[in-house]
Amino acid sequence: MGLISEFKTFINRGNVMDLAVGVIIGGAFATITKSLTDDLIMPVVGYIFGGADFSGYFLRLGELPADFKGNPTSYADLKAAGVAMFGWGQFLTVLVNFIILAFIIFLLVKTMNKLMPKEEAAPAGPAPTPEDIVLLREIRDSLKK
């Protein structure tokens, strides 16, 4: 079997296509979750802690470059300039985003498990007799006659 035909067989499996669809939908879902976090939840958290942009909380570790022309209190400007920073606010934003996403996925899986019919275990009957045993019995019965 050639490499190309093996690749075709691999790609045409249902699991690969399901995975591709899941990745695409997951990417879109992550965008929605990011907006939920950045645009709705984190502004409220920032307001409670005294600032509108929670992701802007950081501790500058490095010195400003001599040619720095941005705002020295802007996380984005400092990050673009390559200044070493401890961006705990940005990390907290990403962490909250992850927790929200994980919780929503948990709820989706839980709902899907409730909607899927439970497979009833069929009563275990005797195992079918193997063909070679059946053939041997037929030969035995023929010889008896």
89 contacts 56 by C-beta, under 8 angstroms: yes
In a domain, 32, yes or no: yes
In a domain, 3, yes or no: no
Query: For residue 11, what are its two tokens?
Result: 């790609």
The candidate with the shortest Cα–Cα distance to 41, out of 76, 93, 101, is 93
In a domain, 89, yes or no: yes
In a domain, 4, yes or no: no
**CATH assignment of the domain containing 89:** 1.10.1200.120
pLDDT tens digit string along 41-86? 777 877 777 765 666 788 888 888 888 888 888 888 888 888 888 9
What's residue 53's pLDDT? 61
**Distance (Å, whole) CA 81 – CA 75:** 10
Q: How far is CA 128 from CA 44, 124, 132, 136, 141, in A?
A: 66, 11, 12, 15, 19
